Amino acid sequence: MNPTAKWTGRILSGLVVAFMLFDGISKLARESHVVAAQAELGFPDGQIRLLGAIVLVCTLLYAFPRTAVFGAVLLTAFLGGATAAKVRLEDASLWFSVAIGVMAWTGLYLRDGRLRAIVPFNAQSSA
């Protein structure tokens, strides 16, 4: 894998980590915009901090190379729930959580040789 692809993966992963840390910390701090958004999605007020803690744990697991694949799976689950909540409300911003999930896996794929070995994307046919 060329160095440009590896750095692209690190940058994409860094953007995902930065956004998810911001999201988790905002939930833990019970920032007013986050509280209002969670209420719109139908989440009880008492669950905001729990969601913040969950997203922070998932993000930290994703940020460290040894646990990055497990963290990506957990982040995908979290973002899938966010997407489902937005679909239920017919909220057009559902594509943001989908994009974050795609960025997370693309970044991990580009920066982690183990994942590339398991899921090889190449133009050559095996036939």
Helical packing angle, 3-28 and 32-40, nearest 10°:
90
| % pLDDT > 70, the chain | 94
pLDDT for 37-75, tens place per residue?
888 888 888 899 999 999 999 999 999 999 999 999 999
pLDDT for 15-40, tens place per residue?
999 999 999 999 999 999 988 888 88
Instruction: Evaluate if residue 123 carries a pLDDT over 70.
Output: no
Q: What is the pTM of this model?
A: 0.86
Task: Read off the pLDDT of each residue in 71-93 and give the average, rounded to a whole number.
Answer: 89
Please give the single-letter amino acid code of residue 118.
I
Structure-derived torsion over alpha carbons of residues 119, 66, 81, 53, reported in degrees to the nearest 10: -170
pLDDT at 44: 87
